């Protein structure tokens, strides 16, 4: 029988399916359920820098501005303490790796949380640098440098693996991944998904777009997984976004990914999706004669010139030449 074990960012996983950060991974009962269903690891719901800031703002009043330091300190500590309790509880109930997650947009005080997260028992820390560079005075490379600085600062504080979840708004993911590895990153995840914005044309106001990914979102991630896994082979890659069946897991592995992070499909279909995906991947591997994930990982990445030509191809007009 084919073996689904894989190594990602220094973590030994019994399956390439990692439950990505979402509201359900803030529930201990759900985390236990995901492990029983066959998940390789779980990424806890992210500790959001901006959420802490919003909660502080919501509890402040103009009448007592002198209380700001006390209230902000209290609320920050409560949010972090609750998060640390979740890590400890998950580790006491589960044997699979528990990955903590911090979503941040500045290089600042939140880094102090990293050491406490490690002490609480997290097996790894996933960093999500969530930001849009919109300044007219933006200096090219500043955003990428922010990623590198954050990894360097966190690496100086903790010994657990640091996983960086990148947004798709990076000018050169290959160069950034190479630099992140040099700074101490253990793995990268491709890609983060920004809050989906839509517009209600009747009310003439912004509204939330579709919160779930679809199989159409997979293309960009497997393209870059195929390129990065060949260009920076020492840095493990995971695919995130658009993995809606076992086929998405297989495509990701063939492109060079060591694992996948899945949230939307699991939210829609429940923990049973993990069991079905594992079974599908295993059946596919056996039908193709692959004994392990390592045997098929990167078979279609850019290390082969023929694959590289397809992955690096950017023009698609020829595919529509027959359309009139």
What token pair was written down for 211? 């919160």
DSSP SS3 for 198 = strand
Predicted local confidence at residue 140, as pLDDT: 80
Predicted local confidence at residue 319, as pLDDT: 58
**pLDDT tens profile 185-194:** 999 999 987 7
- Highest-confidence range of 50-54, 106-110, 159-163, by mean pLDDT? 159-163
Predicted local confidence at residue 230, as pLDDT: 98
Please list the residues that pair with 19 across neighbouring strands: 42, 262
pLDDT at residue 90 tops 70: yes
Domain locations in the chain as residue ranges: 6-320
Nearest Cα to 173, choosing from 211, 144, 193? 144
pLDDT at residue 145 tops 70: yes
**pLDDT tens profile 245-272:** 999 999 999 999 999 999 999 999 999 9
**Rounded Cα gap, residues 120 and 85, in angstroms:** 8
**pLDDT tens profile 17-57:** 999 999 999 999 999 999 999 999 999 998 865 555 555 45
Strands 197-200 and 205-208: antiparallel
pLDDT at residue 74 tops 50: no
What token pair was written down for 179? 């630099």
Predicted local confidence at residue 49, as pLDDT: 58
DSSP SS3 for 248 = helix
Report the mean per-residue pLDDT for the chain.
Answer: 88
Report the run of H or E that residue 239 belongs to, with start and end.
strand 237-240
Predicted local confidence at residue 188, as pLDDT: 98
**pLDDT tens profile 196-244:** 789 999 999 988 888 788 888 899 999 999 999 999 999 999 999 999 9
- Contacts of residue 306, Cβ cutoff 8 Å, sequence gap at least 6: none
pLDDT at residue 106 tops 80: no
Query: Is 248 or 314 the better-scoring residue by pLDDT?
Result: 248
pLDDT bracket for residue 87 (50, 70, 90): very high
Share of the chain above pLDDT 90, in %: 66
* Cβ proximity of 48 and 37 under 8 Å: no
Q: Mean pLDDT over residues 300-323, rounded?
A: 77
Q: For 133, phi and psi rounded to 5 degrees? A: -90, 105
CATH class, 6-320 region:
alpha beta
| Helix residue spans in the chain (DSSP H) | 28-37, 49-58, 68-93, 112-119, 142-155, 173-183, 218-231, 246-255, 264-269, 272-288, 293-296, 305-311
Predicted local confidence at residue 76, as pLDDT: 63
pLDDT at residue 15 tops 90: yes
Contacts 24+ apart (CB under 8 A), 294-297: 294/6, 296/250, 296/253, 296/254, 297/6, 297/229, 297/253, 297/254, 297/256, 297/257, 297/258
pLDDT bracket for residue 100 (50, 70, 90): very high
């Amino acid at each position: 029988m084919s073996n689904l074990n894989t190594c990602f960012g220094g973590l030994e996983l019994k399956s390439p399916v990692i439950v990505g950060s979402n509201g359900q991974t803030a529930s201990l009962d759900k985390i236990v359920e995901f492990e029983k269903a066959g998940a390789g690891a779980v990424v806890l719901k992210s500790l959001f820098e901006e959420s802490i800031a919003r909660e502080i703002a919501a509890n402040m009043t103009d009448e007592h501005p002198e209380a700001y330091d006390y209230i902000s300190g209290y609320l920050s500590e409560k949010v972090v303490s609750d998060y640390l309790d979740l890590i400890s509880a998950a580790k006491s109930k589960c044997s699979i790796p528990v990955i903590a997650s911090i979503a941040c947009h500045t290089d600042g005080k939140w880094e102090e949380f990293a050491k406490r997260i490690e002490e609480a028992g997290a097996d790894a820390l996933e960093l999500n640098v969530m930001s849009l560079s919109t300044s007219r005075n933006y200096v090219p490379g500043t955003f990428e440098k922010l990623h590198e600085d954050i990894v360097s600062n966190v690496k100086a504080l903790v010994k657990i693996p640091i996983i960086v979840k990148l947004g798709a708004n990076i000018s050169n993911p290959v160069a950034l991944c190479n630099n992140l590895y040099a700074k101490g990153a253990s793995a990268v995840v491709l890609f983060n998904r920004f809050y989906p914005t839509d517009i209600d044309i009747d009310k003439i106001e912004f509204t939330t777009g579709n919160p779930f990914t679809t199989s159409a979102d997979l293309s960009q991630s497997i393209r870059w997984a195929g390129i990065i896994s060949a260009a920076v082979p020492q840095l493990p890659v995971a695919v995130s976004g658009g993995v809606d069946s076992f086929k998405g897991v297989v495509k990701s592995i063939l492109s060079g990914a060591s694992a996948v992070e899945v949230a939307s499909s699991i939210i829609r279909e429940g923990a049973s999706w993990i069991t079905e995906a594992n079974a599908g991947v295993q059946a596919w591997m056996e039908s193709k004669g692959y004994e392990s994930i390592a045997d098929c990982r990167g078979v279609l990445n850019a290390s082969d010139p023929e694959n590289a030509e397809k992955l690096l191809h950017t023009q698609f007009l020829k595919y529509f030449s027959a359309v009139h």
